Amino acid sequence: MKAETSYEIWLRQEGIPVVEGYGVENVRGIARRPWARTGGKGAFIRLKGMEGFTGMYVGEIPSGGALNPERHLYEELIYILEGVGSTEVWSNRGAQKKVHFEWQAGSLFAVPLNSWHRLINGSRDPVTYLAVTSAPLMIDLLHDDDFIFGCDYDFNQRFDGRPDYFVTSSRRAERGGFMVWDSNFIADARSALVDPSEAKGSGVRITSFDMGGSTLVGHLAEWPVGRYHKAHFHQGGAILLILRSEGYTLMWPEEDGMRPYQQMRGNQVVKVDWQEGSVVSPPTGWFHQHFNTGKEPARQLAFRYSGQSGKYLLGVAKSLNKEGVRTSTREGGTLIEYEDEDPQIRRDYEAALKKESVAMQMPAIAYREG
């Protein structure tokens, strides 16, 4: 039996289910159990690509109830799957200055590091939410639960108690080749504006976001009906939540080449089908590529550490990304141009679209040799 990490021990001791795999078809459908720590229900999700960099769980707030107040020395981003409610946030020395904000299904916000917070259900129906954290890194490094959950230090540079801290900001600026939205709260990620990013694929739009002064950041991506992303790879730990449409993701190890089918390595390609509410996490150094087979534009919410566009970069993510996920492999990056991809990939996509009676909208290409 393999030895457990401190984080794995903590997961087991929390006493709620743990779901594993390359992806989960619908996080809303995961069975949840009472969770003493939060006062609600929950289940952990451990996908193969998370690799101890990120943690994830789906939580539930009971009808008309609230979760227990909590603080912790790891970063956390929360996306509301279903329901309406509010959150209170306050510092260790500022309980009299609670910042209160309301949310709905589709809302996304950061929990500032080590700040007290409490989630409150504002309806008669249970609230479900998805949380992504840096808990595995912090718990494995410190291996002291009392310190993780009991430290009273205030990170004032991250949370200063301003009444407008969780008011949606309009601040956007180009950074690292991406448009970055600096806002601690997004009212509805399902309909938020996303910026053109054709380097990632035909018709692709991507906006990165920084929240709560965190190293754990993310982006919103959208692409049209009948189209797909270019393949690329990066550091593990990224988690992709589907907000709209249906389709699939292909993933394969970099060592199997840019054209795995031509090189008789097609059996190494992992296909994960998705729909609204699905999550997938590509492992470190695995090419991955997203295909929309639905009848509406696909939208994806990605949680990740930043190796390129964030205000605070994580060294391991920066080093593996080479010249960047927007830069072609021919120029030192990790992105496969359409002309360099395996021809079987497009043939399979055309067949998948035909099955769904969706027209192909991809531009014609001439494949390069070798």
Q: What are the residue ranges in the chain where pLDDT is below 70?
A: 95-96, 307-310, 316-323, 370
pLDDT digits (tens, 9 = 90+) for 290-312: 999 999 999 999 999 876 666 77
Domains of the chain: 6-150 (2.60.120.10), 172-182+189-355 (2.60.120.10)
Please give the mean pLDDT across all residues of the chain: 94
- pLDDT score, position 230: 96
Distance CA 84, CA 106 (A): 10
Residue 32: what pLDDT?
Answer: 98
Torsion sign over Cα 124, 125, 129, 135:
positive
Cα gap 231→349, rounded to integer Å? 14
Does the pTM surpass 0.75? The reply is: yes
Question: What confidence score (pLDDT) does residue 322 get?
Answer: 56
Q: What are phi and psi of 335, to 5 degrees?
A: -105, 130
Nearest to 280 by CA among 307, 328, 247, 313: 247
Instruction: Give residue 319's pLDDT.
Output: 59
The predicted pLDDT at position 152 comes to: 94
What pLDDT, on the 0 to 100 scale, is given for residue 11?
A: 97
99-149 per-position pLDDT tens digit: 999 999 999 999 999 999 999 999 999 999 999 999 999 999 999 999 999
Residue 176's pLDDT is: 74
CA–CA distance, 44 with 21 (Å, rounded to integer): 12
What's residue 316's pLDDT? 66
Question: What pLDDT was estimated at residue 347?
Answer: 97
Q: In the prediction, which pLDDT does 310 show?
A: 66
